[in-house]
Amino acid sequence: MNEIKMGVIGAGVLGSYHIDKCLQNPEVKLCGFYDANPARRREIMEKFKIPGYDNIIALLNEVQAVIIATPCSTHHVIARQCLDSGKHVFVEKPLASSYSQGEELVYMADKRGLILNVGHSEAFNAAFTRLCSFKPAPRFIEAHRLAYYSPRGTDVSVILDLMVHDLQLVLRLCKEEPVYGRIAATGVPVISKDIDIANVRLLFPSGCVANLTASRISAKRMRKIRIFSTGSYFSVDLDKGEIEKYSLKQLPISPGAIPVESLKEKVEAKDALENELQSFVKTIKGEKDCLGVDGKEALIVLKVTDVILELLSSGSV
């Protein structure tokens, strides 16, 4: 298979980044993009010198695969249209707004033999992949994701806007689904009409507990995750690419010595969007990729968010 004929749907801030990555990838032929806004369409056409479409069907007729970078509330209907047209789909996170919507997309992709990947970009974060290389066995996980307020993404709650990142990381670390009846969640709207800050607690069958906090109204930005594992502790700054590992020293140790050894690393940052695209291309070509998040993995994230959102809407904790 030669170049993959690709199209981008949605040319906002994130969509324009995807367009740029497609143009830089030698295995991709970017055939054009779609955006509903005429002014934005003209702007992107002039900037990148590529065709802009005012009709999704016209774009689909030219491509083998698409990248969907539209608001979350539109993911389901657009991805369904693309899959129904026989196109491979990469959709920005989350896969859809609900588990039932996501389930339909996964079923469609499987039935048609199409690739469905989802933009959980933190799976490609160099600090997280380094953490995974230690093969931790989590007993307690604490994640904080704080962001400045931005109108972008507020068509959904902070759960689907930000916390989905850490939910995907936690599920990948634990390698199991939580006990759904034991999920606890609290959250409040502050600036938008939906939940802007939330805390969630997950209990896993293994006994591991995960405590996640997400806010999109913070005065500072933070993306940190801490893992307490049997015999070791990890602190990971996903923003700065810094990892700290503390573990018990092997016995015997000298009298009076501190029985803990530490390791501090700063990993080289990698371009998550570039790596996501390459993962999508490799998968379309039938090559194995262990970092990309496929529809089935992203669907489990939605299964968890459905429970969280139901708890928040009902006022249960």
Q: Per-residue pLDDT for 317 more than 60?
A: no
Q: What is the CATH number of the domain that holds 58?
A: 3.40.50.720
> 115 with 137, same domain?
no
Give the pLDDT confidence of 165-179 residue by residue, as tens digits: 999 999 999 999 999
| Global confidence as pTM | 0.93
| Whole-angstrom distance, CA of residue 28 vs CA of residue 242 | 32
Over the stretch 181-237, which tens digit does the pLDDT of each residue have?
Answer: 999 999 999 988 889 999 999 999 999 999 999 999 998 999 999 999 988 999 999
Give the CA-trace dihedral at 245, 248, 253, 254, to 10 degrees.
60
Q: Do residues 163 and 308 both lie within one domain? A: yes
Shared-domain flag, residues 74 and 139? no
Same domain assignment for residues 15 and 45: yes
Structural domain count, the chain: 2
Look up the CATH number of the domain holding residue 169. 3.30.360.10
Q: What is the pLDDT of residues 19-45, one digit of tens each?
A: 999 999 999 999 999 999 999 999 999
53 and 96 in one domain? yes
Same domain, 78 and 171: no
Whether the per-residue pLDDT at 254 is higher than 70: the answer is no
Structure tokens at 163: 């916390």
- Does 142 lie in the same domain as 112? no
Domain range for 144: 123-269+302-314
Q: Are residues 136 and 251 in the same domain?
A: yes
Please give the pLDDT value at position 147. Answer: 93
Q: Which pLDDT tens digit goes with each residue over 100-137?
A: 999 999 999 999 999 999 999 999 999 999 999 999 99
Token readout for 138 is 């989590």
Claim to verify: residue 168 and residue 306 sit in the same structural domain:
yes
Three-state DSSP class for residue 268: coil
> Which residue type is seen at 181?
G
The two beta strands, 232-237 and 242-248, are antiparallel
Which helix or strand (DSSP H or E) is residue 276 part of? helix 272-284
Same domain, 64 and 127: no
Q: What is the pLDDT of residues 44-88, one digit of tens each?
A: 999 999 999 999 999 999 999 999 999 999 999 999 999 999 999
